[in-house]
Amino acid sequence: MARLAGAAEDRSMPQAETAVMASDGSKKGAGEMGLRFREILHSGRFVVTSEIGPPKGTNLEKMIHHIELLKDKVDALNVTDHQSSVMRYPSIGGALLVKEHGGEPILQMTCRDRNRLALQADLLFAYSRGIRNVLCLTGDSVVVGDHKEAKGVFDLDSCQLLRAIRTLEKGKDLGGNDLDGAVEFCAGAIVTPEAKPLEPQLIKFEKKVEAGAEFIQTQAVYDLDNFWRFMEYARPFGVKILAGIILLTSWRMAEYMNKNVPGVFVPQSLIEEMKTAPKGKAVEKGVEIAGRMIRTLKEGKICDGVHIMAIGREEAVPEILREAGLEGGTGG
């Protein structure tokens, strides 16, 4: 736990009073202005992030429990933003809670619900409260969620949001006006390495990197040969890539995802492996598979880390890390 203990010592970040004008907005050096997650990304070790889904309501007990469970076991925790267009407690609230409990939050921001004024304002607020990491997403359509009649905003998209962050860092807003106090963020985006067709997705990936993405958390990967090929393409871009790992909880879930989740393909071999699990032990089998995949990615130095999405099974994340040989921190 030595590395984590060291990190715990400087967990309190200096509060931004008047933020210093940041540099030119391109690839930044590690360690500037206490961007701890950026330091971790550049440290050369295998990065592990996971995610917290806020509650539908103001009962924060479960979320706090998950934060406490995971905050010292991973390098950073994403807080989702109305994932699947289901109205929830806001990601910024969740991110503040992560921070208050001593974790490192990654604020997920979608463009579905807020126009450019609100998005910029939220970035100013997040920065002022010590949040330093943002994952920029376009966002699911409202029609897939639980407020199907709502207006989808999409005033900006994920590329434009990344650019907006880099613009704010230079001390200006999107209207060209000067800011009284700028921001600085470690900003990331997502990619679906197995999108079909793939090339449009890769074009978008390149645009995200150009727009300022410095880390990528991918959609769930299961076929590591395909992922390896994706990494051959992506590695030269220099952006840090964390492979998405979604815990399989049953073979039916795997089939469901194959049918319904764009860009997620669980190979038949893994479905068969899930089927071999004894009754009531499917989740254990899923944990074993996830742990094995992470181990392969780490030992093969295939990518820069993983992003574990347990979707309602946050209790299983520590077990996944144990299976992966990452219990007790990701030092190495």
Partner 1 sequence: MIRSITKQKGMEEILGLLESFQRLFIVGCGTCVTLCRTGGVQEVEEMARRLGKEGKLVTGTMVIPVACDEISQEALKEHEEPIEQAHALLVMTCAFGVQTIGRQLQIPVIPALDTLFIGKERGIGIFEEVCTQCGDCILGETGGLCPVTNCHKGLVNGPCGGTNNGKCEIDPDKDCAWTLIYERLRAQGRLDRMRRFQPPRNHQVCPRPGRMTIVQ
What does the binding site for partner 1 look like in residue numbers (CB under 8 A)? Answer: 112, 116, 137-141, 143-144, 152, 154-160, 163-164, 174, 190, 192, 195-197, 199-201, 203-204, 206-207, 210-211, 219, 262-263
Look up residue 316 and give its DSSP letter: G
With respect to partner 1, which residue has the nearer C-beta, 50 or 160? 160
Minimum CB–partner distance for residue 163 and partner 1 (Å): 7
Query: Residues with Cβ < 8 Å from 36, sequence gap 6 or more?
Result: 7, 10, 13, 104, 132
**In the complex, least distance from residue 198 CB atom to partner 1, rounded to whole angstroms:** 11
Distance in angstroms (rounded) separating the CA atoms of residues 162 and 91: 17
Could you give the CA distance from residue 273 to residue 234 in angstroms, rounded to a whole number? 30
Identify which of residues 5 and 143 has a Cβ nearer to partner 1 in the complex.
Answer: 143
The backbone torsions φ and ψ at residue 148, rounded to the nearest 5 degrees and listed phi first, read -70, -10
CB of 204 to partner 1, least distance (A): 6
End-to-end CA distance of the chain: 12
Nearer to partner 1, 131 or 264 (CB): 264
- Secondary structure of residue 13 in the 3-state scheme: coil
| Cβ at position 193, least distance to partner 1 in Å | 11
Phi, psi of 195 (to 5 degrees): -60, 145
Minimum separation from the CB atom of position 250 to partner 1 (A): 22
**In this structure, are residues 155 and 111 in contact, taking their beta carbons and an 8 Å threshold?**
yes
Specify the residue, 206 or 284, whose C-beta has the smaller distance to partner 1: 206
If you search the block for the tokens 């990967």, which residue do you land on? 221
CB of 226 to partner 1, least distance (A): 16
Q: Between residues 162 and 277, which has the closer beta carbon with respect to partner 1?
A: 162
Instruction: Rank residues 40 and 142 by Cβ distance to partner 1 and give the closer one.
Output: 142
Nearer to partner 1, 164 or 317 (CB): 164
Nearest approach, Cβ of residue 147 and partner 1 (Å): 14
Q: Shortest gap between Cβ of 144 and partner 1 (angstroms)?
A: 7
Cβ-based nearer residue to partner 1, 195 or 248: 195
Quickly list H helices, the chain. Answer: 2-9, 36-41, 61-70, 91-100, 116-128, 158-169, 199-211, 224-234, 251-260, 268-275, 282-299, 317-323
Q: Pick from 153, 224, 155, 239: which is nearest to 193 by CA?
A: 224
Among the listed residues 187, 156, 189, 152, the one whose alpha carbon sits nearest the alpha carbon of residue 173: 156
- Strand, coil or helix: 244: strand
